[in-house]
C-alpha cells in the first residue's frame, strides 16, 4: 500500500512538473533585449573576473609604475636636474603619462586573445548591442588606468612630490589622462582585430609607443634638444598631454593646453572607433 501511494505521489509530482514546463514553453513573448549599458557593464564585469583569476595582469599597474618612478628619479635626477627632489617635480607627471599610455596596449591584447580562443565569434552571435563587448573592456581598462595613477601619485607624495595645483589639479590631471588613454585604446582594438597574434600586436604597439614616449618632454625639457628634434616633440601628442597634465598638477595649466588634449582625443576616437566597429562587424 505504501509503495502504491509513493508511486502515485511521484507520478502526480511529475505530472505537475510537466504542466509547469508546458506553461513556460507556451509563452510566446520573448524576454526583453538588454540595453547597451547593461551589456557593456556585463562584459566589464567579465574583464574584472579575469583579473581576479589571473592577478598577474595587475603587475603592469602596480610593480612597473613603482619601478619606473624610483629608477628614473634616483638614477637620472642628479645628472639631469642636479637634484632628485627638483627632478621629481618635473618627472612625475611625465612618468605618469608614460606608464598609463603604455598599458593601453593591453586592450588590444585581450581582444586578440578572445579572437584566438574563438570566444569572439560567440560574442558576435549574441543578440546584444555589438559595441558593448569593446566598451566593457575599455571601461575596465579605465579602472586600471585609475589604479596605476593612484599608485604613482601616492608614491610620488611619499618621495616628496608636491603639486602646487592641489587636489583639484591632480584629480583634473588624472581625469584628462584617462580620457586620452580611453581614446588611444581604440587604436589597439583596431590592431587587435587586424593582427594575427598577440606577439605581433605587442611588437607593433612598442614600435609606436617607444618613439612617442621617449622623444617627448617626459624626461627632459625640449629646450635642451636640437632644434630639428624640438619640432617633432612640440607636435607629439604625448608631449601635448604631458604639458597639460604637468600644468594642471603644478597650477600653471591653461585652457589652451587642455583643449589641445581634448582635440587630440576626439580626432583619435573619431578615426579609430568607427574603424574598429567596421572591422568588428565584418571580420570573418
Q: Give the model confidence (pLDDT) of 220-244 as tens digits.
A: 888 888 888 888 888 899 999 999 9
Residue 13 lies in a domain: no
273 close to 186: Cβ distance less than 8 angstroms: yes
Residue 278 lies in a domain: yes
The predicted pLDDT at position 257 comes to 92
Residue 8 lies in a domain: no
For the stretch 131-149, pLDDT in tens is 788 788 888 888 888 888 8
Residue 157: domain span: 35-282
pLDDT-derived band at 121, boundaries 50, 70, 90: confident
Residue 227 lies in a domain: yes
Cβ of 175: how many Cβ atoms within 10 Å?
Answer: 14
For the stretch 64-101, pLDDT in tens is 778 888 888 888 887 777 788 888 898 899 989 988 88
Kindly report which listed range (53-57, 95-99, 250-254, 264-268) carries the lowest average pLDDT score: 53-57
Q: What is the mean pLDDT of the chain?
A: 82
Is the pLDDT higher at 170 or at 120?
Answer: 170
Q: Which residues contact 232 (CB under 8 A, 6 or more apart)?
A: 215
Residue 16 lies in a domain: no
The predicted pLDDT at position 242 comes to 93
Residue 153 lies in a domain: yes
pLDDT-derived band at 172, boundaries 50, 70, 90: very high
The predicted pLDDT at position 57 comes to 66
Distance, first Cα to last Cα, the chain = 65
The predicted pLDDT at position 47 comes to 78
- The answer to whether the predicted template modeling score (pTM) of the entire model surpasses 0.75 is yes
Residue 209 lies in a domain: yes
Mean pLDDT of 247-265: 92
The predicted pLDDT at position 114 comes to 75
88 close to 130: Cβ distance less than 8 angstroms: no
Max avg pLDDT among 51-55, 99-103, 217-221, 268-272 = 268-272
Find the helix packing angle between 84-103 and 105-117, rounded to 10°. 30
**Considering its fold, how many domains does the chain have in total?**
1
The predicted pLDDT at position 209 comes to 86
pLDDT-derived band at 26, boundaries 50, 70, 90: low
Residue 12 lies in a domain: no
Q: Residue 38 to residues 33, 47, 135, 278: CA-CA distances in angstroms?
A: 10, 14, 11, 22
Amino acid at each position: 500500500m505504501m509503495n502504491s501511494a509513493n508511486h502515485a505521489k511521484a507520478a502526480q509530482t511529475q505530472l505537475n512538473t510537466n504542466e509547469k514546463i508546458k506553461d513556460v514553453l507556451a509563452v510566446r513573448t520573448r524576454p526583453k533585449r538588454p540595453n547597451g549599458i547593461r551589456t557593456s557593464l556585463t562584459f566589464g564585469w567579465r574583464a574584472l573576473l579575469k583579473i581576479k583569476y589571473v592577478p598577474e595582469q595587475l603587475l603592469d599597474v602596480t610593480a612597473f609604475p613603482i619601478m619606473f618612478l624610483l629608477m628614473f628619479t634616483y638614477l637620472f635626477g642628479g645628472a639631469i636636474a642636479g637634484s632628485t627632489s627638483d627632478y621629481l617635480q618635473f618627472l612625475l607627471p611625465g612618468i605618469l603619462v608614460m606608464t598609463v599610455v603604455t598599458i593601453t596596449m593591453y586592450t588590444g591584447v585581450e581582444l586578440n586573445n578572445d579572437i584566438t580562443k574563438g570566444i569572439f565569434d560567440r560574442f558576435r552571435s549574441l543578440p546584444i548591442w555589438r559595441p558593448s563587448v569593446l566598451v566593457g573592456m575599455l571601461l575596465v581598462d579605465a579602472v586600471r588606468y585609475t589604479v596605476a595613477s593612484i599608485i604613482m601619485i601616492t608614491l610620488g607624495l611619499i618621495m616628496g612630490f608636491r603639486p602646487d595645483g592641489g587636489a583639484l589639479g591632480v584629480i583634473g590631471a588624472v581625469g584628462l589622462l584617462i580620457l586620452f588613454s580611453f581614446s588611444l585604446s581604440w587604436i589597439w582594438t583596431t590592431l587587435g582585430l587586424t593582427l594575427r597574434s598577440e606577439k605581433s600586436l605587442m611588437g607593433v604597439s612598442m614600435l609606436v609607443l617607444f618613439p612617442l614616449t621617449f622623444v617627448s618632454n617626459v624626461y627632459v625639457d625640449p629646450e635642451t634638444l636640437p632644434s630639428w628634434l624640438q619640432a617633432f616633440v612640440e607636435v607629439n601628442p604625448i608631449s601635448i598631454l604631458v604639458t597639460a597634465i604637468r600644468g594642471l598638477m603644478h597650477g600653471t595649466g591653461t585652457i589652451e593646453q587642455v583643449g589641445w588634449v581634448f582635440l587630440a582625443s576626439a580626432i583619435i576616437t573619431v578615426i579609430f572607433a568607427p574603424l574598429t566597429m567596421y572591422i568588428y562587424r565584418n571580420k570573418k
